Amino acid sequence: MTIQLEQEAKFRLASAEEGVSKLAALGADVAKPRHFEANILYDFRDERISKRDEALRLRRVDDEAWLTWKGPQHGSGRIKRRRELETRVDDGDAVEGILDALGAEECFRYEKYRACYRLQGALLTLDETPIGVFLEIEATPELIAELASELGLTMADAISLSYPRLYERYRLEIPDAPRFMVFPENALPPR
């Protein structure tokens, strides 16, 4: 199990190619090549998890799966800070069955293509999502600001919102968007 204080900021990019180019120019090392991720968030009918500003997520990549709990966001500003507990699980289907037996229900689903990089002790992820391309920098606040500057990004443009919150905003602008943040071939109609 990994216990950590997640500190990260997202930056919207024009394209994945832009992100790859910026990261290559700084000499970032590929930690995990581009791959598809499917994420499911769970909550109970009374929304007890989201009401506490927490998240319970099952992430799948190929035949691997991770169960993650994220605590409430601490502080404010452009950098998201929250406690995170994560463990790799042997059987994602069994975890889904356990959550279902406990009364937890799928409340949101989101997908992305992600490539992971390492640079100066930071984790940088390049995410291609149904609502655009984002570069996440996970490190100390000082290193996030330093790397953003080196990448030609500005902290004034940093985003601290999670993908579910970004998608909520997206759906306010595009009400007929699918219910979940998934690629068109996996989309359910809006509700």
Please state the domain extents for the chain: 2-185
66-117 tens-digit pLDDT: 999 999 988 778 999 999 999 999 999 999 999 999 999 999 999 999 999 9
DSSP of 123-183, one letter per residue? Answer: EEEEEEETTEEEEEEES-HHHHHHHHHHTT--GGG-B---HHHHHHHHHHH-TTS-SSB--
Count of C-beta atoms within a 10 Å radius of residue 2:
10
Check residue 93 and give its pLDDT.
96
Structural element, H or E, at residue 84: strand 80-89
38-78 tens-digit pLDDT: 999 999 999 999 999 999 999 999 999 999 999 998 877 89
DSSP single-letter state for residue 78:
S
Instruction: Answer whether 23's CB lies under 8 Å from 119's CB.
Output: yes
Among the residue ranges 6-20, 83-97, 98-112, 176-190, the one predicted with the least confidence is 176-190
Confidence class of residue 188 from pLDDT cuts 50, 70 and 90? low
126-167 tens-digit pLDDT: 999 999 999 999 999 999 999 999 999 999 999 999 999 999
Fold annotation for 2-185: Hypothetical Protein Pfu-838710-001 (2.40.320)
Check residue 77 and give its pLDDT.
83
